[in-house]
Amino acid sequence: MTTKEKKELFRKLNECRDEITKLKTTLNELDEQKENWFNKKEKHSDEIVALINKAKENKRKRDSLTKSVKTDKTQREKFNEETKKKISQLKESNKKKQELLRKHNIKEDPSRIKEEIEKLDLRIETDVMPFDREKELMKKIKDLKKKYEQSKEIRNICEKVFGASKEIDNLKGEARDIHRRIQSRAKKSKCILSLMPSAPRLSRPNEMNTSGKRRPSPLAHCILRRLMLISVSVTPVQIGSS
């Protein structure tokens, strides 16, 4: 082998050594990048699990609130229907009361008629008066008692009217309380929805879309989809009318 051939051989050998050194350096850099991306993946995996668990917990809370609101709305509707029925009965009772008052020509409150009877009875028992005056008062008491007896049916209706009025007030109060409870739960549900977590943005290195921006990796797409499915599966809370 000539000297020239030896020199050429050594030159090529040095080139190969340089190439091997460069390849080793590149390989070490790639190993370091791979380790960095693995650590990022582990970190994001923990964040993703926490986000999904948080989303599921919020969904459970919203579903529970929605169920409670549905029950409250059913109960509120029941109270409203009962109130309408009682109001109808009250109107009918008042109508019947007016008809009886006209029929028996009663212009006084039955309770006042009773008071007048008791007052006259007391006067006859305690006052000293002429016989004619006593006889006159006795006749008046008799007439008042007759009128009072005729008002018996009216008194019964008055009691029904009074009772119905109290029931209507109670039913309206219950319906208002339920409506306030529905509003409160709907507000809490809306607050929970606003706190629903979003997925972290994960991108592969050097992966760009046509606009030059990084595209979310398949893992990010998967997480975004799961969080969206959890969010959209939550039944919206509607307050409705009181």
Q: State the Cα angle at 206 between 205 and 210, rounded to 5°.
A: 130
Instruction: Provide the b/e sequence for 137-158 (b: ≥16 CB within 10 Å).
Output: beeebeebeebbebbeebbebb
**Structure tokens of 52?**
């999904």
| CB of 55 closer than 8 Å to CB of 197 | yes
Q: Answer whether residue 11 shows pLDDT above 50.
A: yes
**Structure tokens of 68?**
């409670």
Most confident of 2-6, 57-61, 97-101: 57-61
pLDDT band at 149 (very low <50, low <70, confident <90, very high): confident
Amino acid at 222: C
> Within 13 Å, how many C-alpha atoms sit on residue 96's CB side?
16
Going by C-alpha positions, the residue among 201, 152, 151 that lies closest to residue 40 is 201
The structure tokens 């190439």 sit at 19
- Report pLDDT for 204: 46
Distance of alpha carbon 242 from alpha carbon 239, whole angstroms: 8
Distance of alpha carbon 19 from alpha carbon 47, whole angstroms: 42
Q: Answer whether residue 203 shows pLDDT above 50.
A: no
Going by C-alpha positions, the residue among 56, 51, 76, 50 that lies closest to residue 186 is 76
pLDDT band at 202 (very low <50, low <70, confident <90, very high): very low
- Report pLDDT for 93: 82
Cα-based distances in Å from 11 to 4, 7, 23: 11, 6, 18
- Report pLDDT for 79: 86
CA 48 to chain CA centroid, Å, is 29
| CB of 154 closer than 8 Å to CB of 110 | yes
Most confident of 2-16, 170-184, 195-209, 216-230: 170-184
Task: Report all structural domains of the chain as residue ranges with CATH numbers, in order of start.
Answer: 3-106+151-198+215-232 (1.10.287)
Distance of alpha carbon 116 from alpha carbon 113, whole angstroms: 5
- Report pLDDT for 207: 45
Distance of alpha carbon 87 from alpha carbon 181, whole angstroms: 25
pLDDT band at 229 (very low <50, low <70, confident <90, very high): low
Phi and psi torsions of 207, nearest 5°: -100, 110
| Mean pLDDT of the 55-63 span | 83
Q: Answer whether residue 211 shows pLDDT above 80.
A: no
